[in-house]
Chain A
Amino acid sequence: MNNFSYTRAGDVASAVSEIARDNAAKFIAGGTNLIDLMKENVARPSRLIDITRLPLDKIEEAKDGGLRIGALVTNTDVAYDEQIEKRYPLLSRAILAGASPQLRNMATTGGNLLQRTRCYYFYDTATPCNKRDPGTACSAINGFNRIHAILGASEDCIATHPSDMCVALAALEATVRVTGKNGDRAIPFAEFHRLPGDTPQTDTNLQADEIITAVDLPAKGFADNHTYLKVRDRASYAFALVSVAAALEMDGNEIKEARLALGGVAHKPWRDTEAEAMLNGKEAIKENFQKAAEAILRDAKGFGHNDFKIELAKRAVVRALRQASEMGETGKKYGDKLHRTADQPR
């Protein structure tokens, strides 16, 4: 690991002024991704600002009937929080589908949003990578790209965002609260992460002097009909090839409102409000699920090794919608096994 200096922030204001002073400084909380990137020589911060002792570690009721999750609440503490389990089980399920218990004990809510792609070329400093070294090249486009994006990619970058939690937060329309030199602002989840375009080095719309303070969940949690379906290379502790967060508001067998977000397919959690709208007011039957799946993947493009993801994603969408719609009586059992994706074979 390269040398760096270390400081511990005592309050949010001093954390912001510390980060604004040095553009090679970084915040550190759980460190599960950043320390790894530093060991790989991908991240080379001059200074680490330890924010773990800031008072951002609570889950609180919000005035609008939702919940506010402090940026430093660990993934474990969010996933097993009584209110989250009851009102936002989709979020619990998504978090528990990711990483390992050890990592979830360390990783924080804010850090999960800011984790970087696991593209192997991004990690390998011997290869060109536009995300790591802008203006070099994308090694993945003509390289091994089995895990890469099929939606929203650019000629400069086909990396995916690795988070499971963020896929659920996208479906739930969370809001990211941040503080910077110019004060506080709230960023709708869909606008937090970016597509790569010709600046893939920038993952999010967070400004350099800003810190995430909380993630707000709106009142509507889709607790009755939801699923997080994750398809991966092994049964546990692997990143998604494709994942689907499906949340439905049902009236009998009619879908009143549908939310769909996909993971493992793009540079950000992929939401398609047009495809969602196609489901609203429709019967929860396979034909309608298939139409929505076709719509979401209409512009999908494979790069060779990842071509399989297009069909896989379509089928995952259909299966997730079926699971979510059938939850009701029989599906309640899924809720009791929060640490497992409902679909996992035994």
Chain B
Amino acid sequence: MNNKSDSEIAGKVTASGPAKSSITLKVNGAERRMEIAPWTTLLDLLREYLNLTGTKKGCDHGQCGACTVLVDGKRINSCLTLAIMKDGAEVVTIEGLAGRDALHPLQQAFIEHDAFQCGYCTPGQICSAVGLMNEGRAKTADDIRELMSGNICRCGAYPNILAAIQEVTQAGARRTKR
């Protein structure tokens, strides 16, 4: 399924394959109801059915983290997730992070720290970092490095990615202390 989108494949086989099922997801705050084949991954659903192409297909095998999204608040690899299994879940993608007037603090910090070069891994990096902050276990730079190891950056922007995440986690810690 590397070269063809899932919808192309699904379009050809549904006549003989099992029937599509109806699922409902809350995506970036909006309820979305869709008819999908059981083999549609959450990643393909986001990109091909909902045109949310911010979430990237990198390796498509759970090794690179470019497809990271938040499902019920937890970061996961959407490429290894069957959408049908997440019926009723709440999904947040990179498109759902910014507020009405301002970017998410992590998005802003990535810009300020120049935490990317080509940008392909960035949506996954930022969603993963949001998950990391929700988890609240990263206290040091080493912790962040370890707990961000599921997101690979081929450009090697790691020092700036680390700096961006560190700035936001530290700002969060300062706010909590006050």
- Identify the stretch in A97-105, A148-156, A188-196 within 8 Å (CB) of chain B at 4 or more residues: A97-105
Contact present for B145 and A236 (CB under 8 Å): yes
Nearest CB in chain A: distance from B34 CB, A: 15
The CA-CA distance from A237 to B16 in the complex, in Å, is 40
Is A5 an interface residue, CB under 8 A from the partner? yes
- Interface size class for chain B? 35 or more
Contact present for B38 and A101 (CB under 8 Å): no
**Chain A residues with CB below 8 A from B45, complex form:** none
Is A57 an interface residue, CB under 8 A from the partner? no
Is A127 an interface residue, CB under 8 A from the partner? no
Contact present for A102 and B68 (CB under 8 Å): yes
Q: Give B1-56 interface residues, CB cut-off 8 Å to A.
A: 1, 9, 13, 16-18, 21, 37-39, 41
Contact present for B75 and A101 (CB under 8 Å): yes
CB-CB under 8 A for A339 and B143, given A32-B62, A103-B150, A105-B75:
yes
Contact present for A101 and B80 (CB under 8 Å): no
CB-CB under 8 A for A101 and B18, given A35-B82, A237-B150:
no
Q: Give B136-158 interface residues, CB cut-off 8 Å to A.
A: 137, 142-143, 145-147, 149-151
- Identify the stretch in B98-106, B127-135, B164-172 within 8 Å (CB) of chain A at 4 or more residues: B127-135
Is A308 an interface residue, CB under 8 A from the partner? no
> Which listed residue, B13, B60, B81, B84, touches A6 by the CB 8 Å rule?
B84
A-B contact count (CB 8 A): 95
Query: CB-defined interface of A89-119 with B at 8 Å, one 1/0 digit per residue?
Result: 0000000000111110110000000000000
Interface residues of A (CB under 8 A from B): 1-6, 28, 31-32, 35-36, 38-39, 48, 50, 52, 76, 80, 99-103, 105-106, 235-237, 339-340, 346
Is B74 an interface residue, CB under 8 A from the partner? yes
By Cβ-Cβ distance, the 9 closest A-B pairs, closest first, are A100-B150, A6-B38, A236-B149, A237-B149, A3-B17, A5-B18, A1-B39, A35-B80, A102-B150
The CA-CA distance from A2 to B74 in the complex, in Å, is 28
CB-CB under 8 A for A102 and B13, given A4-B38, A237-B149, A339-B146:
no
**Chain B residues with CB below 8 A from A99, complex form:** 150
**Chain B residues with CB below 8 A from A340, complex form:** 142, 146
Contact present for A236 and B1 (CB under 8 Å): no
5 new A-B contacts, CB < 8 A, other than A39-B61, A237-B149, are A1-B9, A31-B85, A48-B38, A105-B74, A236-B149
CB-CB under 8 A for A1 and B1, given A102-B76, A236-B145, A237-B150:
yes
**Chain B residues with CB below 8 A from A35, complex form:** 41, 80-82
**Chain B residues with CB below 8 A from A38, complex form:** 39
**Chain B residues with CB below 8 A from A2, complex form:** 39
A53's nearest neighbour on chain B, judged by CB, is: B85
